[in-house]
Chains A and B, each alone.
Chain A
């Protein structure tokens, strides 16, 4: 690493400093746009008692699901358990602490965290179990609850292309949570399919400006499809 060149030489270097008990924010929706190699590196390092913030927790045997298998996650903040049997089982048994969070609230918590906003009011979740223990307020005749922002020790992000400065573009719906996650990490690590020379990306089309990115690495991706659905 030198100056504004964010490239690092290895996945070990990309996650240097990750320790037990830290909070990791992860981009992706289902298995789409997940930082697969960074997740594999977390597994390899064997760090434990992690708090992981991600819309989903992968599937059994892939994505963040592998960290559940190794009991590396102490607490999960997510909106959807879905068809991940191990996630549901660890949740119901109480082995894993889970804070189920509405998807839009989760995205906004990350956005707020990255933008220096400590908390915000939202109508989402009012009158539901999500509101328990939270401040409620009536504003202009509607009920809202106060939701705190989220930041993390590490943010792990999957992009499509990036230049040396860490300007990132995402491909199709693999964008999802990645741009907001990228803003909310104390150390933001981005893995991409291709690193290009500065100037090759159109400045008007950048999704994540390089100021948010600390470390950048190029990887190869399996891109497993969760539900292959074809036109009849």
Chain B
């Protein structure tokens, strides 16, 4: 079975470490905040200028001046810091964020990522994604392995305009956890009940399959 959005978030959360500063993108990455292991302290950075993002507010706590990078109303934890956009991106571009999790349309074996536009069809803009991928060492891309039509999103070469070049080394899809090494995807884990053959069939870029590929446990 392919992973649910919640399971993907749960799997990403296993990469968290005590004391990490983490930036979570919109969508599945946002859900990672729900699975921070008990007893572990991580500080969430929201690139609109908030370090120490808390839960969504109750009706009484809603404040138009308190939002996250996804423009959702949000709260700040005790001990949070709020600052301007250039300060926020100095943290990101200066490599001070320990882990970045974001979505994508495509990734390829060269570590390239495309996530911000489909020419002639869709222009959302890159927002902070280009800064995040260029500034961080530790990035996890979360995405579905293939499109609804079965087209692989793990490619030999991205077909869409890039967000960043040569910056991605870890990808979690709904089918597998993969690392990018020496211009190839390396299959590290598979979703429960998903066969290696299915992953091979749905990966267009070069894929290395180690002898033993463990199943993820939930």
The chain A residues found within 8 Å of chain B, CB to CB, are: 29-33, 55, 78-82, 88, 91-92, 100, 102-108, 110-111, 122-130, 160, 171-180, 207, 223-232
Q: Closest CB of chain A to B178's CB: distance in Å?
A: 21
The A interface is mostly helix, strand or loop, or mixed, namely loop
Is there an interface contact between A32 and B59, defined as CB atoms closer than 8 Å?
Answer: no
With A81-B124, A92-B123, A103-B128 in contact, is A127–B84 under 8 Å at CB? no
Binds A, one of B12-20, B47-55, B100-108, B191-199: B47-55
Is there an interface contact between A230 and B49, defined as CB atoms closer than 8 Å?
Answer: no
- 8 closest Cβ contacts across the A-B interface? A127-B165, A104-B89, A104-B131, A223-B64, A229-B72, A80-B125, A102-B130, A107-B85
Is there an interface contact between B89 and A108, defined as CB atoms closer than 8 Å?
Answer: yes
Mind listing 26 A-B residue pairs with CB under 8 Å?
A29-B71, A79-B127, A80-B124, A80-B125, A80-B126, A82-B71, A82-B124, A102-B127, A103-B126, A103-B131, A104-B130, A106-B85, A122-B93, A122-B134, A123-B135, A128-B130, A128-B164, A172-B82, A175-B49, A176-B85, A179-B84, A179-B86, A225-B64, A227-B73, A230-B59, A232-B56
Give the complex CA separation of A82 and B110 in angstroms: 28
Is there an interface contact between A174 and B65, defined as CB atoms closer than 8 Å?
Answer: yes
List residues of chain B with CB within 8 A of the CB of A108: 86, 89, 93
With A102-B126, A103-B47, A178-B84 in contact, is A230–B66 under 8 Å at CB? no
List residues of chain A with CB within 8 A of the CB of B88: 104, 107
Q: How many residues of B contact A (CB 8 A)?
A: 52
Is there an interface contact between B165 and A126, defined as CB atoms closer than 8 Å?
Answer: yes
Is there an interface contact between B85 and A55, defined as CB atoms closer than 8 Å?
Answer: yes
List residues of chain A with CB within 8 A of the CB of B162: 127-129
With A130-B130, A176-B48, A223-B65 in contact, is A207–B84 under 8 Å at CB? yes
B59-99 CB contact bits vs A (8 Å, 1 = yes)?
10011111110111110100000111110110011000000
Q: Closest CB of chain A to B168's CB: distance in Å?
A: 12
